[in-house]
Chain A
Amino acid sequence: MTPQSTFMITAAVRRDRLEELRQLLAGMNSAPGFADPRNPLLPFWQFRRLHVARFTLLEANTNEDIKAHGVQPGLWRPTLCFIGDIDGDVDTFLAELVIRAEPGLRQIFSHCEGFDGIHTRLLLWLHRHRRGPAANYVNWRGRTVVQIGEELALREALAREVRRPGGDAQDVHIRQRWRRLQHFVREEVAAGRLRLTPSEPTPPGWFVANLLHLVGVPLLLLLLSPLFLLAAPFYFYRLRQLERSDPQNTLRAAGDHLRALAAQEDIDVTNHFNVFGQVKPGRLRLFTIRMGLLLLDYSARHIYKRGYLTRIQTIHFARWVLLDRNRRVYFASNYDGSADSYMDDFINKVAWGLNLVFSNGVGYPRTRWLLKDGARHEENYKRTLRRNQLPSESWYKAFPGVTAVEMARNSRIREVLEQDNPGDGELREWFSLL
C-alpha cells in the first residue's frame, strides 16, 4: 500500500508584484481557475503521482472582522500558497518537481519575498517554505493515481464487454460469467490494452510511525485526562460565556467577490474550496481549535480512510492549516458537486463536526456546547463561509469528470475481479456495478 502525502509551500508575495503573479498563474489555465494539465509553466500531466494541486493567493480580505472582538487585526501579507496531494513521500516528489518544472517554478516563486533569482537553490527553498497541516483528510488511503487511471479503464472495458453481443453469455451460472470476464481482462492485460499494476509494499517506516500514532495519541490523551477532568467545569463555564457573547457575522459577501468565486465553480464535476479566516482571540479558542483539529486528523488518519468522512462521501482531499502563529486558519478541499450542495451537505449531515473546528473562527454563527446550532444557522453560515472564501488561482485534478464515489466503485470492481472465490452475493453485486 502506497500511503498518500501532502505538501504546502507558502511565501509572502512581493508587494509590487502581486498582480503580475496573478496574471502569470492565470496563464496556466484553460478555464477560470482550471489548470491546463499541459501548460508550459507547470506541466501537471507529467506527474504520475499527483492527485490534486493548486496555487492560491492567501489574502486577508476579512482582516477587519476581528475588530468585533475588540482586537486590532494583525498584519498579513498576501501569500502565495502551493499545495498538492501525492502518492508516496514528499521529498522525492519535490525533487521530481524541480527536475521537471524548474524554470516555471522559478518564474512563479521569483514573485515572492526571499527568492533571490538564480542564487536561490530551488529545492532547498521549497523545503524551507513548507508548512504542515494541523489536520489532513484523504478519501481513500493507498489508492494511487496510477491505480485510479487503471481501474477507470478496467471498468470501461468491462462495461463495454458485458454489453457486446456475445460478450456475456446470459444462460450460464454467474460464476462462469465472472470467470469468463476474468479471462477477458487477463487477455486485455496481456495484449497491453489494460494494465493492473499490483500495489507496492507499505513502507516499513511509515507503517511503524502510523502504528505509534494510532496508539500514542489516545495514550497521551488518557494520561492527560485527569487534568482535563479537573479543568472541564471551568472550560465549559467559560465556553458557554463566549458562545453567548462572541460576535457573529451576518454580512453577505460583496457581489464582485461572489462572482469571482462563481466564475471558477462547476467547470468540472469536482470543485475546489479555499477558506482563510482568523481564529477568535483568547487561549480557550486556540486550545479548542487545536484539540478539534487533533481529533479530526486522528480520525481521518485511522478511521475515515475508506471513502467517507463521517456521512460525507464527496471529499477527495482536504486540509486544515494553522498559519501566522496560530492566529489564522486555512482550509482547502476538493469536493464533488456544486458549492451550494456542498454547503447544504455539511449543514445537514455534519454541522456538529464543522462547529467543533470552525466555531473557533471569527464571525462563525453561534454554537451551543460547541457542537449544537452553529452551521444550522444556514444563511449566516453560508454568508460567513462565502465571505472568507478565496478563489484558487489555478487548480489541477488528475481525473476530471470522475467523482470519489465512482473511484470507490471502480476499486470494488477490481477487488472482486481479483478475488479467488467470491460469494454469489458478491458476484451479483459485482455485475450490477458494471
Chain B
Amino acid sequence: MNTTTPRTDIELDDMQGLLRFAHGHLSEAAFLLLRVADPVAARQWLAAAEVTSARGQSPLPDSALQVAFTAAGLLALGVHEDTVIAFSEEFTAGMSGDENRSRRLGDTGANHPRHWRWGGAAADTPHVLLMIYTRPGKLTGYLRSTLTPGFTAAFVVQDTLRSKTTGPEEPFGFVDGISQPVIDWQQASRSGAQARDTYSNLLAPGEVLLGYPNEYGLYTSRPLLHPSGAPGAERLPAAADQPGLRDLGRNGSYLVLRQLAQDVPAFWRFLDQQCGGDAQQREQLAAAMVGRGRDGAPLVAPATRSIAGIDRGSADNHFTFADDPHGRQCPLGAHVRRANPRTGDFPPGSDGPLRRLLRILGFGRRGRRADLVASTRFHRLLRRGRVFGTTLTPEQALRDEPLKAAQQERGLYFVCLGANISRQFEFVQNAWLASCKFAGLSSEADPLLGNREPLPNGAATDQFSRPRAGEPAHCVRGLPQFVTVRGGAYFFLPGLRALKFIVQQE
C-alpha cells in the first residue's frame, strides 16, 4: 500500500485501519447503511464491536470492521448538538438536501438526490455506516454472526451494499486506484506552511486526519471539548493546538461515500460506434477519455525530475503533465488528469527568485493555458472505493446479443477520506470533474462522470476533445451519461477513543 512507515509516536492504535490500509486482501465487503432504532442498544452494540485499528497485524487479519457516522447519526446516538455543529458545515449539512451543493457536485438531472436509493433526503440518510471486509467466501457468515438479536434491536438496516473484488480494474475495465497520496508522517507535528513549487505526492497528515497540521501548517477545525464539559471527554486525546481541550476529531477523518452506477455496455458501445467498429481506435479513444490505458499505463512519458512520494520505478505513477501543457499526449479533459492534475504551487518553469517573482506577479506565463489549474496538494483524496455488480468485459459489453449480465447494475461504491470535504472532495468534484471550463476547456465535463446537462444558456457539456498539434482538437460529441449517482452521504470516521466517547453518551 502507499503508506510510509509511520513514526513511533503516531497513534496507530487510535486510528481506524481504513486510513492506512485499503484491506486489499479482503476481497469481499459489505457496507451496511443503518438507522438507529434504539439509541441505548445501538451504543451498546457499537461499544462492544471490534473495530479494526491502523496497527499492522501479522498475519493479516481475516476480516476488518470500520465504523462511521453521519451528523444525523451522531445526534441520534445522543452526541450533544453543540458538539456536532462544531464539525464542518458540509458534514452537518450533508451531501444532499441543498440545491446549491447538488448543483456544484453535478447532482442534477438523473443524478439528482430525489432519484437516489438512499441518502437523497433526511429521512433516508443513514445514521451509521458499518464497513465489513472479509476474505473471499466469508462475508455471508460474518454478516450472519453480526446480525444478532442485539443488533436488530439497535438498528434498522436500510441497505446492504455488497462488493466482491475480482481484480484491480473498475467496471469499465481500467486498472484503478494507482494514484494515491502518501501521508508524510514526518510532518505530523510540524506546523507552519511550506511551499511545494512542483507536484509532490507527499501529503501532510492533517489533510487526511483531523487533529494534525494540514498543508497550510494549520489545524482544521473540529469539535474540541472541555475535559469536564462532557462525561468521558477526559479520555479523549488532547488537542495538539489547544492543549487544555480534548479533541474529538483527532485520528479521525471525514468519509465520503457515493454509489455510482456505471453503464458499461453504453460506454463501450458508444466508443465502438464513434470509431466505426475499429478495435484499435476504440481502445485509443477509451484511453484518451480515461487518461490511461486499460492496464493503467499513463499517456505521458515518465517524469525526468523526481517526484516526492513516488518511486522512480513505479512507471504508471511517476509522471506529471508539465511537459504536455496543451494535452496533446493526455487530453486536458481526461478523467485522471482532471481528478489529479499533478500541478504544483507554481506553473512549470518558475525556478530562481526572479522568475518566481515574475510568476507571482502574473507575468511570463508559457502559453494561453498556463496556470489555470489550482495547486493539487490542497485537493487530494485518499480513495478507498469498492466495485459492485458482476464483471462485464468490454468484449462482452460489445456483443450483438447482449448477455443477461449486461442488464445488471454495476459500478463503484466511491469512498474517499479527507479532513476537509469542501476543499477536497467537493472541490475536485466541482471545479475539476463536473466543470465544463476546467483548464480552459469549453463544452465538456468529465468524460466518464459528466451528467451531460447543458449550461443555463443552453451550451452543451457533452463533448470530449483531444487536442492536436497545429490542428483543431479532435472532438467527440453527444456523449451519453455513463455514470449515474444512486446514493451518497458524508460520514465522520472517528478515532477509536472518539468512538468510545460517542457510544458512551447519555
- The chain A residues found within 8 Å of chain B, CB to CB, are 31, 159, 162-163, 168, 174, 252, 255, 258-259, 262-263, 265-269, 304, 308-313, 336-338, 340-341, 344-345, 348, 352, 376-379, 400-401, 403, 405-406, 408-409, 412, 427-429, 431-434
Give Cα A342–Cα B270 distance, bound, in whole angstroms.
Answer: 36
Which residues of B have CB within 8 Å of A312?
A: 362
Which residues of B have CB within 8 Å of A434?
A: 472-473
Q: Are A341 and B100 in contact (CB under 8 A)?
A: no
User: Are A337 and B435 also in contact (CB < 8 A) when A268-B456, A379-B220 are?
Assistant: yes
Q: Work out how many contacts link A and B, with CB atoms closer than 8 A.
A: 124
Contact of B371 among A162, A265, A311 (CB under 8 A): A311
Which residues of A have CB within 8 Å of B473?
A: 432, 434
Q: Are A406 and B218 in contact (CB under 8 A)?
A: no
Contact of A163 among B103, B456, B472 (CB under 8 A): B472
Give Cα A162–Cα B473 distance, bound, in whole angstroms.
Answer: 10
Question: What mask results when residues 459 to 474 of chain B are scored 1 for a CB within 8 Å of chain A, else 0?
Answer: 1000000011111110
Contact of B368 among A168, A310, A379, A408 (CB under 8 A): A408
Of B372, B375, B379, B442, which is in contact with the most chain A CB atoms at under 10 Å from its CB?
B442
Which stretch of B42-50, B132-140, B421-429 is in the interface? B421-429
**Cβ of A422 to closest chain B Cβ, rounded Å:** 13
Give Cα A379–Cα B456 distance, bound, in whole angstroms.
Answer: 31
Q: Which residue of B lies closest to A434 (CB)?
A: B472
Q: Are B361 and A258 in contact (CB under 8 A)?
A: no
Q: Are B368 and A409 in contact (CB under 8 A)?
A: yes
Q: Are B360 and A310 in contact (CB under 8 A)?
A: yes
Q: Are A412 and B456 in contact (CB under 8 A)?
A: no
Give Cα A31–Cα B99 distance, bound, in whole angstroms.
Answer: 12
Q: Are B471 and A341 in contact (CB under 8 A)?
A: no
9 A/B residue pairs, CB under 8 Å, sorted by A: A310-B360, A341-B374, A341-B430, A352-B360, A376-B193, A406-B437, A428-B469, A432-B467, A432-B471
With an 8 A cutoff between CB atoms, is B409 at the interface?
no
Which residues of B have CB within 8 Å of A252?
A: 89
Q: Are A313 and B374 in contact (CB under 8 A)?
A: no
By secondary structure, the A interface counts as helix
Which residues of A have CB within 8 Å of B100?
A: 259, 262-263, 265-266
**Cβ of B35 to closest chain A Cβ, rounded Å:** 24
- The chain B residues found within 8 Å of chain A, CB to CB, are 89, 93, 98-101, 103-104, 193, 216, 218, 220-221, 326, 345, 359-362, 365, 368, 371-372, 374-375, 378-379, 422-423, 426-427, 430-431, 435-437, 440, 442, 455-459, 467-473, 475
Q: Are A338 and B193 in contact (CB under 8 A)?
A: no
Q: Are A341 and B457 in contact (CB under 8 A)?
A: no
Given contacts A267-B456, A312-B362, 11 further A-B contacts (CB under 8 A): A265-B100, A269-B435, A309-B362, A311-B360, A337-B437, A341-B427, A344-B379, A348-B345, A379-B221, A401-B459, A409-B440
**Cβ of A170 to closest chain B Cβ, rounded Å:** 8
Q: Which residue of A lies closest to B362 (CB)?
A: A310
Which residues of B have CB within 8 Å of A265?
A: 100, 104
**Cβ of B478 to closest chain A Cβ, rounded Å:** 14
**Cβ of B451 to closest chain A Cβ, rounded Å:** 14
Q: Are A269 and B427 in contact (CB under 8 A)?
A: no
**Cβ of A309 to closest chain B Cβ, rounded Å:** 7
Q: Are B374 and A159 in contact (CB under 8 A)?
A: no
**Cβ of A262 to closest chain B Cβ, rounded Å:** 4
Give Cα A131–Cα B360 distance, bound, in whole angstroms.
Answer: 32
Q: Which residue of A lies closest to B439 (CB)?
A: A405
Q: Are B469 and A159 in contact (CB under 8 A)?
A: no
Which residues of A have CB within 8 Å of B459?
A: 401
Closest 4 CB pairs of A and B: A428-B470, A401-B457, A262-B100, A310-B362
